[in-house]
Structure 1
């Protein structure tokens, strides 16, 4: 188990091996990083249990930073973290496969320019750090990188515009509306909207006495009266539409079913 901590401005990330996933263990690791780099104004995490417990809430209050949790079951809401997690997994897999030093690989990764920008070390520390490779002395001299925030803002707007070309804005939900919440089986859980959540584009909903926080894209508005408490029929999954020609072949031989499905897919 590992903890990945990334700086949203520079892309510099830290990778820590965790003996367990308790809140106190994660907090101890974060305190060590905050002592080195300073306390962030905002910390965004996923919805893992160690970030939900009261110990972490007390830690955020005592160390004076805003804690935001991404929407459960919707990793796109914290895209930077997901990209860095993929990089960290690749780093760990390569280190395990080649029996190489993970920390040495991380050291070199911090000094590699990416996507036309200076290296994470240059952005965070205003200079490259010393590695095993030869380095020019002027690269070790501190020099503040200017205009980076404007570049990042422009790229963010371009990415959003590209995404919005095929994306559809979903209408907002109102308190008391009936929705179906997406689970691993589809939109199969009826729930009632209680109101907007603290995180962007998310809502607090209740279903069968339990409260959930979900991204808007995981909630489907339905025209149906509010279910009575404990009415199990209201919580059954939506029926699945199956093409009629497939239904007719259910009683036939397996090879016939396979032939018809292939023809349908074509």
Structure 2
């Protein structure tokens, strides 16, 4: 069932992210197919929905409408205009967990390669905009480390023709089967490595639990967690939504710390202040002094002081015989 779902979703689940701003004030809009890793790159001057939507329409004109479009929580993706665009195109828009880029890892990994390409061009005094298409062609034709197949071949079912001779293989397995097997093995290894490195464990948070939320460090005295507790209202996988005073906060489960033996104010009984007493009654009465005869007092025992002689270490003996390791030396007394 999983393999059939992956095969049928090739080219239908896309990941979207922005990179920038660059020194020129421009941004890079990146859209990557989740399974084939095929990238689409557009240079934009703004991140508003009015600028993003026409560029997405151009990408959809080449690749078709997706079923799911996953993005971060940027301003253009939270507008009503983008929601209307998603309804008109018929795809489901999903926003990842805030401040958790691992949820959009495939496109984040491509962003590292793209930013490295831009830095290399700038350091070599080359125009990265004019060489962007050549970079994309080479990336799309190179086998991916996870799928072992180039993004172009994984998306279209054929190898890209870029001037090099190619020998076809008759016993080659279907592209979709290779993608499923290689991608599953690669993700399993990466997940095991990440879990071991981070010492991860299953989250025990449940709706109704009281938690503390991690907060940004403003100075050296800022505590790592907000002292005002939140209440968990929803948990979806590793994404947890907590609420406090009508404000909802959605983060990964690692951003919350459960409060043990939490006592909320609404569960406490009303505190009754003690009634004020009169000044006279507040002063305790002085106890009566009872005299006792002198004979009742115990007599001090007789103490005899004994002189203690100081401790002296015995005189240090000088060795007249040389040690074994110095027998081959000849020692003579100085004249």
Matched, 1:118 2:153: no
Alignment check: 8 A CA contact 2:206 2:232 kept: no
TM-score, normalised relative to structure 1: 0.74
- The separation in 2 between residues aligned to 1:87 and 1:193, in whole angstroms, is 40
1:82 partner SS: helix
2:200 to 167, 173, 181: 167
* 1:164 CA drift (Å): 3.4
- The separation in 2 between residues aligned to 1:16 and 1:89, in whole angstroms, is 14
Alignment check: 8 A CA contact 1:178 1:225 kept: no
Assess, with a 3 A threshold, how the Cα gap between structure 1 residues 92 and 72 changes in structure 2: closer, same or farther.
same
Alignment check: 8 A CA contact 2:213 2:230 kept: no
Question: Following TM superposition, where does structure 1 have runs of at least 4 consecutive aligned residues deviating by more than 6 angstroms?
Answer: none
Matched, 1:136 2:169: no
2:59 to 29, 33, 37: 33
* 1:155 CA drift (Å): 2.3
* 1:6 CA drift (Å): 0.6
Gaps of 5+ in 1: 229-266
Assess, with a 3 A threshold, how the Cα gap between structure 1 residues 97 and 47 changes in structure 2: closer, same or farther.
same
Pick the structure with more helix per residue: 1
Assess, with a 3 A threshold, how the Cα gap between structure 1 residues 70 and 110 changes in structure 2: closer, same or farther.
same
- The separation in 2 between residues aligned to 1:137 and 1:157, in whole angstroms, is 32
- The separation in 2 between residues aligned to 1:193 and 1:75, in whole angstroms, is 24
Greater Rg by CA: 2
TM-score, normalised relative to structure 2: 0.60
2:175 partner SS: coil
* Number of the residue aligned with 1:210: 247
1:169-223: per-residue Cα shift (whole Å, max 9, x none)?
1212223x221111222222534235226x6421222234422211111111113
* 1:69 CA drift (Å): 1.0
- The separation in 2 between residues aligned to 1:189 and 1:60, in whole angstroms, is 39
2:203 partner SS: coil
1:188 partner SS: coil
Alignment check: 8 A CA contact 1:44 1:67 kept: yes
Greater alpha carbon shift after TM alignment, 182-191 vs 5-14: 182-191
Aligned length: 221
- The separation in 2 between residues aligned to 1:122 and 1:171, in whole angstroms, is 42
* 1:96 CA drift (Å): 2.6
2:116 partner SS: helix
Alignment check: 8 A CA contact 1:173 1:193 kept: no
Assess, with a 3 A threshold, how the Cα gap between structure 1 residues 210 and 85 changes in structure 2: closer, same or farther.
same
Gaps of 5+ in 2: 1-26, 218-223, 267-335
Alignment check: 8 A CA contact 2:231 2:244 kept: no
RMSD between aligned alpha carbons?
2.4
